């Protein structure tokens, strides 16, 4: 059976969703803002499970400002189509994403706009491609809820963040406006360095899916990780990091 392998060069994981937006890899990072990272090269490919590459699905590059904030992102696909994103900031906060694409299935240009409250916390995100507005709510500056609505649609998407013992709990509720609603719960845990160790998805009574992560370290340096299915035998993907002589990924 084919194993999906995701290989990343020059990458450090972050949790700054408000700063990075919906950008691959940055939802779980915490070191990248140190400014040492200048670029990331990312390649996604399918392997036959014994080390041979079947085909490359896409290649991407991410360029950063000296302060560590993301400047531009480029993605090249198999058929030589491409996407690019340019990021704009104000007072250190991500305010706009400019998306460009020559893929037939995507708009040639659209924007994602971010706005903040008086405390500097992310207050709203407006995606002009999906026509979705997302509002963010906090308790003592800790994000507790996201509420998303789509133009001309009665559907409301609600994400609630809480704790279940030592686990982080994320409850995703879809309200369809006709009295019907669906709910999915994600329970996750992390190691002392903040890297994922498990994810469990349920509908409240039954497990829909479960993943476990094994993180590999050399002393305090993260060398990579693997994601396993709940049987702990099936490897979904493996991520590896390479460091240069300055200890930059």
Cα separation of 42 and 237, whole Å?
Answer: 14
Cα separation of 136 and 114, whole Å?
Answer: 11
The pLDDT assigned to 6 comes to 36
Q: Which one is predicted more confidently, 31 or 69? A: 69
Tokens encoding 206: 């039954």
Q: Residues near 35 by Cβ (< 8 Å), separated by ≥ 6?
A: 64, 65, 66, 67, 68
CA angle 74, 80, 83 (to 5 degrees): 30
The pLDDT assigned to 249 comes to 62
Strands 221-229 vs 39-47: parallel, antiparallel or unpaired: unpaired
The two most distant CA atoms of the chain are separated, in Å, by 59
Tokens encoding 122: 């992310």
pLDDT 10s digits, 126-162: 999 999 999 999 999 999 999 999 999 999 999 999 9
Query: In whole angstroms, how far apart are CA 105 and each of 7, 80, 108, 163?
Result: 26, 14, 9, 39
The pLDDT assigned to 2 comes to 32
| pLDDT score of 54 more than 50 | yes
Indicate the pTM of the whole model: 0.75
CB-count exposure of residue 125 (10 Å: 0-12, 13-18, 19+): buried
């Amino acid at each position: 059976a084919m194993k999906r392998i995701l290989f990343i060069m020059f990458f450090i994981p972050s949790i700054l969703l408000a700063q990075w937006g919906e950008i691959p890899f940055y939802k779980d990072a915490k070191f990248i803002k140190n400014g040492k990272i200048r670029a990331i090269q990312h390649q996604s490919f399918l392997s036959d499970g014994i080390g041979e590459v079947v085909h490359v699905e896409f290649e991407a590059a991410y360029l950063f400002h000296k302060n560590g904030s993301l400047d531009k992102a480029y993605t090249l696909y198999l058929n030589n189509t491409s996407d690019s994103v340019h990021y704009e900031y104000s007072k250190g906060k991500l305010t706009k994403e400019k998306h460009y694409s020559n893929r037939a299935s995507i708009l040639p240009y659209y924007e994602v706009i971010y706005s903040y409250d008086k405390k500097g916390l992310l207050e709203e995100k407006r995606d002009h491609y999906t026509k979705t507005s997302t509002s963010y709510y906090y308790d003592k500056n800790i994000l507790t809820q996201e509420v998303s609505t789509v133009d001309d649609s009665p559907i409301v998407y609600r994400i609630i963040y809480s704790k279940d013992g030592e686990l982080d709990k994320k409850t995703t509720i879809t309200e369809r406006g006709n009295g019907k609603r669906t709910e999915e719960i994600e329970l996750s845990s992390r190691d002392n360095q903040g890297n994922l160790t498990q994810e469990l998805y349920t509908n409240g009574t039954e497990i829909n899916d479960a993943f476990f992560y094994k993180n590999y370290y050399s002393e305090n340096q993260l060398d990579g990780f693997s994601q396993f299915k709940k049987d702990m035998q099936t490897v979904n993907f493996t991520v590896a990091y390479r460091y240069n002589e300055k200890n930059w990924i």
